[in-house]
Structure 1
Amino acid sequence: MAHILVVGASQGIGFETVKAALAAGHRVRAFARSAAGIPLTDANLERFGGDALSAADVEAALNGVECVVQTLGVPLRDLLGPVRLFSDATNRLVPAMEKAGVRRLLAVTGFGAGDSRDSIGLLQRVPFRLVFGRAYDDKDAQEMRIRKSGLDWTLVRPGVLTGGAATGRYRILDEPSSWRNGLISRADVADFIVRQLEQSAYVRKAVVLVA
């Protein structure tokens, strides 16, 4: 079983990943500013309060872990202004991982980031850019920094996120010609992530996940 650092562990895909990883028997260090409030009880869970934008916090959180899951998000209200969280946090995480010798990174970005932007349908492009443009420009920078690293990375690009339990019935689209948008639950994204912790099929690849 692996010792995992989940960055952004208190909510969304990060929280679902913590639950799924614990259920699979992994040791989990749950990193978030509000980590103390994570409502889970498990002997393999370590709550680690810290700021993803603090190099010192990130370096401390990496001590002793074998792989990192990066799941960051910004509130809808912040999408109207400049967004730098994704790239700034990654610019701290990647060098810290390289320094610590932690090679495996699964980073959640989203369908429409990087070279998957060209796969957005014509009718979706204008509203997508209006609402998410600033965030996805920053996700582009995030992905670029990860690709330039020497890490064993996987870029995880889910479609439109929904609630609900994991079904295990989702598609892993790893060829650009197959990329498309669609719905997928946060729990199913977490299921994919946890399955990749001990696999190498998608190392140094970007995948789109849809149901």
Structure 2
Amino acid sequence: MAHILVIGASQGIGLETVKAALAAGHRVRAFARSAGRIELSDPDLERFPGDALSATDVGAALEGIDVVVQALGVPFRDLFGPVRLFSDATNVLVPAIEQAGVRRLIAVTGFGTGDSRAAIGPLQRLPFRLVFGRAYDDKDAQEMRIRRSGLDWTFVRPGVLTGGPATGRYQVLDRPSSWTNGLIARADVARFIVRDLESRDHVGRPVVLISHALPL
């Protein structure tokens, strides 16, 4: 069983990953500024309050860790101003991981990041750019920084996120020719992350995750 650091663990995909990893028998260090308020009870869970932009906090959180899952998010209201969290946090994380001797990093970015941007359908392109453009420009920088590292990385690019329980019925699109947007539950994204950190099937590759495709 792995000792997993989840960065951005207090909500969204990060919190679902904490739950899924614990259910699979892993030890989890849940890192977030509000980590102390995570309402889970498990002897293998360690709540680790910290700031993803603090090299001191991140360095301390990496001690004894086997795998890092970076699952940061920003509030919807912040999408309409400058977004730097993803790249700034990654610029802190990557050298800290390298110094700690950790090899494996799974980074949650999103469909439309990097080379998947070309797969956005014409009906989705303008609204995507208007709402998510600033954030995804920053996610591009996030992915580029990770690619320049020597880490065993995987980019997880989910489509449009939904709530609810995991269904187990989702597609892992690992070829650029198959990439398309769609809906997927956060809990299913988390299940994939835990499965992939165990199998290492997608080291050095980006994957798009969807359950139901959206009209192009």
Query: Aligned to 2:165, what secondary structure does the other structure show?
Result: coil
Look up the match of 1:181. 181
Task: Give 5+ residue unaligned stretches, structure 2.
Answer: 212-216
- What is the CA distance between 1:80 and its match in structure 2? 1.0
Whether 1:197 aligns to 2:184 is: no
Partners of 1:16 and 1:200 lie apart in 2 by 20
Superposed CA offset, 1:3-44 (max 9, x none):
000000000000000000000000000000000000000000
Task: Give 5+ residue unaligned stretches, structure 1.
Answer: none
Partners of 1:42 and 1:197 lie apart in 2 by 20
Look up the match of 1:71. 71
Partners of 1:11 and 1:200 lie apart in 2 by 25
Look up the match of 1:168. 168
Partners of 2:91 and 2:149 lie apart in 1 by 10
Question: Which residues of 2 match residues 98-109 of structure 1 at below 5 A?
Answer: 98-109=98-109
- What is the CA distance between 1:66 and its match in structure 2? 0.3
Query: Aligned to 2:206, what secondary structure does the other structure show?
Result: strand
Residues matched between the structures, number: 211
Question: Which residues of 2 match residues 1-211 of structure 1 at below 5 A?
Answer: 1-211=1-211
Partners of 1:200 and 1:38 lie apart in 2 by 28
Runs of 4+ in 1 over 6 A off after TM superposition: none
Write the letter of the residue equivalent to 1:172.
V
- Percent sequence identity over matched residues? 78
- What is the CA distance between 1:158 and its match in structure 2? 0.1
Superposed CA offset, 1:72-92 (max 9, x none):
000111111100000000000
- What is the CA distance between 1:134 and its match in structure 2? 0.2
Partners of 1:17 and 1:39 lie apart in 2 by 14
Query: Aligned to 1:123, what secondary structure does the other structure show?
Result: helix
Q: Normalised by the size of structure 1, how large is the TM-score?
A: 0.99
Partners of 2:78 and 2:164 lie apart in 1 by 25
Partners of 1:27 and 1:19 lie apart in 2 by 11
Query: Aligned to 2:5, what secondary structure does the other structure show?
Result: strand
- What is the CA distance between 1:201 and its match in structure 2? 1.3
Q: Normalised by the size of structure 2, how large is the TM-score?
A: 0.97
Partners of 1:200 and 1:14 lie apart in 2 by 19
